[in-house]
Amino acid sequence: MNKAEEISSKQKQIAVSEFFEKNKHFLGFDSLQRSIITAVKESVDNSLDACEEARILPNIRVELNKEKGDRIEFITQDNGPGIPRNAIEDVFGKFLLGSRFHAIRQTRGQQGIGITGVVMYSQLTTGSKTRVISKIKGESSAVFVELGLDTRKNKALKTGERRDVWLDEDTGEEIKQGLRIRTIMKGKYQKGKQSVHQYLRMTSIVNPHASISLIVRDKDGNLIDQGNWPRTTERLPRVVSEIKPHPHGIHLGTLQRMLRESNERKMTSFLRHNFSGVSMRAAREILIKAKVDEGREPKRIKADDAQEMLNAFQRVKLLSPPMDCLSPIDDLLIKKGLSKAIDSRFASTVTRNPSVSQGNPFQIEVGLVFGGDLSADGPIEVLRFANRVPLMYQQGGCLLTKALESVDWKRYGLDHPGGRGVPKGPAALLIHLASTNVQFTSEAKEAVAENEEVHEEIRKALLEVGRGLKNHLKKSSQRKKAKEKFELVNIILPEIAKKSSEILGRPEPNLAPVITQIMNAVFCEEILGWDKERKIATCSIKIYNYTARARAYTILAKWPENENTIMVDNHRGGRKEAKGIWAWRLDTLNPGTCTVVEFGVSGLTKGDWVDTDIFFRGNGEIIGATKIDESLLDEIRKSEALILAEEEIEKESSNLEPLIDRAEENIHRDLSETVMKSKEGQLSLSEWEVE
C-alpha cells in the first residue's frame, strides 16, 4: 500500500452527534455556568414554541437542585400539547431533526440540535439518563421513559418505558397535558447579569403571554433563589405563515437545485410558483434580461443561464415578500412585559414597519423605560432579543449594541461621555429583531452579525424612542416649574389680596386677570383612566389658556391603534393624521379658559395604556405638549401608503394567478391535442395552422 492509499484508508465518516460530543462548545456548553443556562434556554424555547403552535397560554416551571460537587438536577415542566410516544426518541435523541429548518417564517430555533444537546451533555458529564414524561390531551395515561444517546448512530437509547397516570407533585391532581424533563448534569448556578434568573426574566419580558417560574435549591434542599413572572396578557402571538423564498435572497447553488427539482413545464410558471414577490410581468422581465426563453423546461436550464437569471433578479423591480411570516411583540405588550420585570415611571416603545434585507423580511422593535427603581450610577441595562430569544453573551460584538452606541444619547437626556459606548442613566433599553433568517456571529447564536439595512432600521427606532424620552423629560421639567409657579401665585396672591382688603375695608378684587398675566402660558395636562363598567380606556386632555389673548391650536394625541382597538366616545370628531395619531382643531381658546378633549379606546385591558404623547400645531409653546414634527409625520404616512400599495398589488397578483395557471393548462392541453391529431393524420396543414 502506498502512502496515499494508507492516508485515504484512515478516513472515516463522522456521525453528527459524535462531532457535537467532541465540540460541545458549538452548542453553548463551553463552561459550567453557561451550560446550565443553555439547557434552560433550549427547553424553555421548545415549550414556548409548542404552546404557541397549539394556541395554549404557556405555564412553564424551571427547577434547579444542587447536588454534590458540580452536579445539578435540572427539571422543566410545561402545559403544552406533549409529544406522541413514537416521536419522543427522535425529538430527544437525534441531532439535526427539526420541523422548521426549511420553513421560511419567524421561529425561535431551526436546526434541531437544542434539546438533543441537553441529553448529550448530561450523559457526557454525569452519565445520567434523561427522564421524560409526556401527556397528550385526551389520552388516558402519560408516557414515562428514560433516554440516553448513541452518538455513533445518532439515535436515542430508550429504557424503562411505561404508561401511568401523571400526578402533580404539589397538589396530587392528575395532569391533563404537558411535558416534563428531568436530568442531572454538570453545571454552576450563579446570580447576576448572566444567569438563569436573568434569562427567564428577559424571556418573560418579550413573552408577556407566558407564566414562568424558577426555583433553585442547595444540596440540603434550602431555597437559594426563585423567580415568578406571571403573564400580563392572554393574547397569544399571532400565527405566522410560511412564505416562499424571495429572489433577492437566493444563491446560485440553491437556484440550480430548485431548477433540477422543479416539475413546472415553463420558466414563467417556475418563477411565479417557487418565489414570493414575482408577478407574471416580473417573471417575463427576468427571463428577457437573462435571455432565457420562457417556454423552456426548468430542468434543462444550464449553469450559465442560471447565473444570468440570478443577475436579472437584482435588476428587476420585485414586490416585497409577504410580512405575515413575522410575529412582532407589539408596542402595548412590550410595555406590559417591561412593567412586570422593571419598575419605571416612563416607557416609550416603537414597532417599525417590516423591512427586507437580501430577500429576508425583518422587523425591529425597541422599548425604553426610564426612572423608577432603575440605578442612575452605571450604564443603562441593555436587553437584546432575536425572535423573542434573549441574547446574553457577546454584547460588545453584537449589531444591536453597535446600533445603540451609534446614537448620541446626550441629546435625549442620558449621560453619554464622549458619545461612545453604552450611555449611563436610570434607564433600560430593549431591542428586538424579528426575522425569518437572523444572521448570528457564531453557532452559539449569542450576537447578531453586521447588516447595514438592519443597523439603519434599529437606529431609526432608537432615535424615535430617544425623542420620546426627550419630550418626556422636557414636559416633566416644564410641568414641574409651571406647577410650582401656579401654586405659588395661587397661594400668595389670594393671601395678599385678602389681607389688603381687610386693612383697606374694601372687597377682594378679581385675581384671574392678574394670575393670567403672571403665568403667561398655555398649559396642557392629559389624564389616562379606566372605565371598569364599560371596559374602556379613557383619555382626557385639558388645555388651559393662561395668556392675555385668544389662541387657536390643533391638538394631536398618540393612541394605541391596532387591529383589536377602536376609538370611541370621540364627541369632538377630528381626523386621523397617521396610524395611532388623531388630531382635533380648537378654533378659539379665550384667555383664562380651559378646553377639554376626551375620547375612549375599546379592545384594551386595564393597565394596557399607561402613557401617551400630546402634540400641537400653532404659534408659541404649550407646556406639557410638543410641537409636531411635520417631516416625521410625512415619513410615517409615506411608509403606510407604500405598505398598503404593496399589499394591494400582492392581493391583485394572487387573484390573477389561478386564472393565468388555468389559461396555461388549457393552452398546453389544446396544443397537445392538436399535435396528436396532426400525428394521426386527422388534420391538413391549413387546419393545423388554424388550430
Q: What is the pLDDT of residues 334-374, one digit of tens each?
A: 887 887 677 777 888 888 888 888 778 889 999 998 887 78
**Of 229, 259, 281, which marks where a domain is finished?**
229
* Confidence bin at 671 (pLDDT 50/70/90): low
pLDDT value of position 11: 45
pLDDT at 392: 84
pLDDT of residue 462: 93
Tell whether 174 is covered by a domain.
yes
Residue 655: inside a domain, yes or no? yes
Residue 322 domain-assigned? no
Angle of helix 280-290 relative to helix 303-315, nearest 10 degrees, comes to 120
Give me the mean pLDDT over the 35-50 stretch.
Answer: 88
How much is the pLDDT for 111? 43
Confidence of residue 213 (pLDDT cuts 50, 70, 90): very high
What average pLDDT does the chain have? 82
Average the pLDDT over 583-610 and give the result: 88
pLDDT higher than 50, residue 629? yes
Are 193 and 204 in contact by the 8 Å Cβ rule? The answer is no
Q: Decide which of 455, 470, 485 is a domain's last residue.
A: 470
Report the C-alpha gap between 398 and 105 in whole angstroms: 23
Full residue range of the structural domain in which residue 270 is found: 247-315
Q: pLDDT band for position 402 (50/70/90)?
A: very high
Least confident residue range of 220-229, 279-288, 338-347: 338-347
pLDDT mean over 263-278: 86
Residue 3 falls inside a structural domain: no
The pLDDT of residue 418 is 77
Give yes or no: residues 466 and 521 share one domain: no
Q: What is the pLDDT of residues 389-401, one digit of tens each?
A: 889 888 888 999 9
Instruction: Please report whether residue 125 resides in a domain.
Output: yes
Residue with the bigger pLDDT between 526 and 117: it is 526
Among candidate residues 446, 470, 494, the one where a domain is terminated: 470
**pLDDT on residue 27:** 63
Q: Does 481 map to a domain?
A: no
Q: Counting beta carbons within 10 angstroms of the beta carbon of residue 22, is it exposed (0 to 12), middle (13 to 18) or buried (19 or more)? A: exposed
Burial class (CB in 10 A: 0-12, 13-18, 19+), 161: middle
**CA 363/CA 353 separation, integer angstroms:** 7
Average pLDDT for 119-137: 88
Start-to-end CA distance of the chain, whole Å, equals 70
pLDDT exceeds cutoff 60 at 24: no
641 and 619, same structural domain?
A: no
Element (DSSP H or E) covering residue 258: helix 252-261
Are residues 403 and 294 part of one domain? no
- Residue 652 confidence (pLDDT): 60
Strand order in the sheet with 551-558: 575-578, 581-589, 551-558, 614-617, 626-627
What is the arithmetic mean of pLDDT over 626-648?
Answer: 71
Judgement on whether residues 624 and 515 belong to the same structural domain of the protein: yes
Mean pLDDT of 636-660: 62
Least confident of 39-43, 255-259, 415-419: 415-419
As a dihedral over the C-alpha atoms of residue 417, residue 419, residue 421, residue 425, rounded to 10 degrees, the angle is 50
Could you tell me the CATH number of the domain that includes residue 602?
2.60.40.2960
Residues 294 and 428 grouped into a single domain: no
Instruction: Characterise 149 by phi-psi region: left (phi > 0), alpha (psi -120 to 50), beta (else).
Output: beta
**pLDDT the model gives residue 23:** 57
**Do 574 and 659 lie in a common domain?**
no
| Kind plus residue range of the DSSP H or E element containing 584 | strand 581-589
Are 78 and 197 within one domain? yes
The pLDDT value recorded for residue 214 is 94
Same domain, 175 and 35: yes
* Whether residue 177 is found in the same domain as residue 40: yes
Q: Are 34 and 195 in contact (CB under 8 A)?
A: no
Weakest-pLDDT range from 201-210, 501-510, 627-636: 627-636
Residue 370 confidence (pLDDT): 87
Task: Tell me which DSSP letter residue 505 carries.
Answer: T
User: Residue 358 is part of a domain; what is its CATH number?
Assistant: 3.30.230.10
Percent of the chain with pLDDT over 70: 84
pLDDT over 80 at 485, yes or no: no
The string of pLDDT tens digits covering residues 87-104 is: 888 787 666 544 444 456
What does the alpha-carbon distance between residue 245 and residue 249 come to, in Å, rounded to a whole number?
Answer: 7
What is the per-residue pLDDT across 7-16, written as a single tens digit (0 to 9) for each? Answer: 555 444 444 5
CA atoms of 618 and 373, how far apart (whole Å)? 37
DSSP structural state of residue 15: P
Higher-scoring residue by pLDDT: 600, 686 = 600
Q: Judge if 304 and 344 occupy the same domain.
A: no
Contact 558, 464 (CB under 8 A): no
Q: How far apart are CA 411 and CA 628, in angstroms?
A: 18
In a domain, 208, yes or no: yes
Average pLDDT over residues 419-431: 88
Q: What's the pLDDT score for residue 573?
A: 92
Q: For residue 254, give the CATH number of its domain.
A: 1.10.8.50
When pLDDT is averaged across residues 485-509 and rounded to a whole number, the result is 81
pLDDT band at 455 (very low <50, low <70, confident <90, very high): very high
535 and 390 fall within a common domain: no
- Is the pLDDT confidence value at 480 over 80? no
Residue range 48-72: mean pLDDT, rounded: 91
Distance CA 349, CA 462 (A): 9
Q: Report pLDDT for 98.
A: 47
Residues in the chain: 691
CA 43-44-49 angle, 5° bins: 100
Across 446-469, average pLDDT: 90
pTM of the full structure: 0.74
Interatomic CA distance for residues 656 and 120, integer angstroms: 51
Residue 188 in any domain: the answer is: yes
Residue 463's pLDDT band (cuts 50, 70, 90): very high
Would you place residue 596 in the very low, low, confident or very high pLDDT band (cuts 50, 70, 90)? very high
Looking at the structure, tell me whether residues 155 and 39 fall in a common domain.
yes
The confidence band for 303, taking pLDDT boundaries of 50, 70 and 90, is confident
Give 682: exposed, middle or buried? Use CB within 10 Å, 0-12, 13-18, 19+. exposed
* Number of domains into which the chain is organized: 5
Could you tell me where the DSSP H helices lie in 10-146?
16-22, 32-53, 88-93, 114-126
